[in-house]
Structure 1
């Protein structure tokens, strides 16, 4: 991230966004700009080990701290996290930078949902789409019902895929459970029973009540994955969360569960949901929540015209766990599609 310029903008909604941008003189303006969107509970620095690979291309990089994270405003009303409004905020960054190149949104976790909706809401501006872990999510026409989703997945794949949402989307969960136990939260999300890869995510995220019990008990009795063992990495995580708290990041879950996206989702459904430009999806073998086979639904329904699928032997946080592989795959895909 040292090769990027750190900047800020105040959007029309009155929020301050912090973002990182690579120098224009080192990029080719005829090539698409890469918009990198992080997910929960990270910030722009989630891409820190992927960025060196991307800087070898002629593509300019724009990497924001999304709403609720890092140096960006942290409102605690989930209404502020309505997806078209947040996409609009980031579009303002491109206008302020006077960037008129095409854009390829690339997202991880909630940043993947953001990237997909950025694509759908700004089709004239985009050249392609990249998502990590979270496959293409068709727009909803019915209200989101967490209990119904968990019951459905438990019946059809054997476990409640969003069991952890019972904590993450609880209005008081971040304040009462996560904020007092940040080190335990860190172990819950970056732990692994053998320190490498196993079914820890299944046990912690896809078992009802498991993550609430683990974090509220202040447990740290599980080995960390290799990247998470770095004390500087851990300190940066905990220090940022101490300063800003987990309530704002939790609003990403609340906005979906409380159906603040529904109006936008219905409009997108009406206009047709097809990714016409090249789409790269990177899945991970150790992600019990964001399963690679989910992309087959979109593919089978004809929602993607030019799809490339890659799968890594990694847990959910592949930009941390396998940054070299992520960078290599993205750079190779950009070259194959004539984007780099």
Structure 2
């Protein structure tokens, strides 16, 4: 049986006193098994660990960091391994779910804490859910944004992906072969990101009767079905430049390697087949996010899979980028849940 990782705690990294007093964000690198994780910290109080998704970085939480800090929390947003200034191992298997869980545990320990609430978006939601599932001793509550919890189960994931989409290729299958998606994305990182963000945004996204970018015709590229000539309100030139510059420096392989571990995760997590997450939990979804449509059955199963669920919200007209599209609303929901939803402080 594969056991959840229990890394040795690294030396705690405590914020300088002046930053604790002023509440300014602090950047640092902390040790994790086999590498380092870059994080941005703001505020003091109970620890809230924020985990981004694809293709993002700690910056996706930039609006929530000061809001959580002002509400009396120690908010910490990480660059997931493979992103930003965090370590980028070469081997595909170094991006398995067990490695991400170990990273999260090590970050909590490096910050001198014993427990934390973990909140994730997109892939970060799945990482947060598995962190809570495998290490309930560390992660005492879990918030899931965009992607609902689905317990491990069913057939091998790549077999499922190969059957989705009919004559078109499902995007997760498209991402499987190393170098293939990189060749498309890295030819124009800034342009690809702009198109991807716009295509999944609640206001600028692909119309319901449009061709989905998640299904790629034979011989085509994913970006062939992106929205053209539109930009989400939140995606300013400066913000797009900041995101693109990080990926232009790091490339996309680390980010894409998360998708390339779907079968490995299915094998690693066999002992937790169908397992519920019992800690206090929160779900926030976007009404215009494909995840809430594809995974409607997972949301309907929450009474069984998330018996500790204390709040669930579907934001009308919102797309995939919840904390970018509706930062104030997401902050209000999250802070209310942290303060009154059964989450221990």
Q: TM-score, normalised by structure 1?
A: 0.84
**Structure 1 residues 213 and 8, CA, compared in 2 at 3 Å: closer, same or farther?**
same
**Is the counterpart of residue 118 in structure 1 residue 139 in structure 2?**
no
- Structure with the larger helix share: 1
Q: Which residue of 1 aligns with 2:52?
A: 38
Q: Which residue of 2 aligns with 1:140?
A: 153
Q: Which residue of 2 aligns with 1:333?
A: 337
- In 2, Cα distance between equivalents of 1:122 and 1:188: 37
Q: Mind listing any 5+ residue stretches in structure 1 that lack a counterpart?
A: none
Q: Which residue of 2 aligns with 1:21?
A: 41
CA deviation after TM superposition for structure 1 residue 303, in Å: 4.3
- In 1, Cα distance between equivalents of 2:286 and 2:202: 17
- In 1, Cα distance between equivalents of 2:139 and 2:202: 39
User: Which residues in structure 2 correspond to 1:313-332 (within 5 Å)?
Assistant: 313-332=317-336
Offset from partner CA, 1:97-132 (integer Å, 9 cap, x none): 2212x3111000000110001001111222211000
Offset from partner CA, 1:52-73 (integer Å, 9 cap, x none): 2211222222221111001101
CA deviation after TM superposition for structure 1 residue 308, in Å: 1.8
**Is the counterpart of residue 298 in structure 1 residue 301 in structure 2?**
yes
Task: Give the SS at the match of 1:283.
Answer: strand
**Structure 1 residues 7 and 193, CA, compared in 2 at 3 Å: closer, same or farther?**
closer
Offset from partner CA, 1:290-333 (integer Å, 9 cap, x none): 43634434225454243421011211111111111111110111
- In 2, Cα distance between equivalents of 1:61 and 1:121: 22
Offset from partner CA, 1:149-177 (integer Å, 9 cap, x none): 4636x69xxx98x8222333331223311
CA deviation after TM superposition for structure 1 residue 240, in Å: 1.0
Aligned partners of 2:152 and 2:272 also within 8 Å: yes
Further displaced range: 168-177 or 122-131: 168-177
**Structure 1 residues 73 and 56, CA, compared in 2 at 3 Å: closer, same or farther?**
same
Aligned residues: 320
- In 1, Cα distance between equivalents of 2:334 and 2:219: 32
Task: Give the SS at the match of 1:61.
Answer: strand
Q: Which residue of 1 aligns with 2:32?
A: 11
**Structure 1 residues 59 and 210, CA, compared in 2 at 3 Å: closer, same or farther?**
farther
Offset from partner CA, 1:70-112 (integer Å, 9 cap, x none): 1101224220011112211221122222212x31110000001
Offset from partner CA, 1:263-285 (integer Å, 9 cap, x none): 3210222xx61222221100101
Q: Which residue of 2 aligns with 1:208?
A: 216
Task: Give the SS at the match of 1:124.
Answer: coil
**Structure 1 residues 320 and 276, CA, compared in 2 at 3 Å: closer, same or farther?**
same
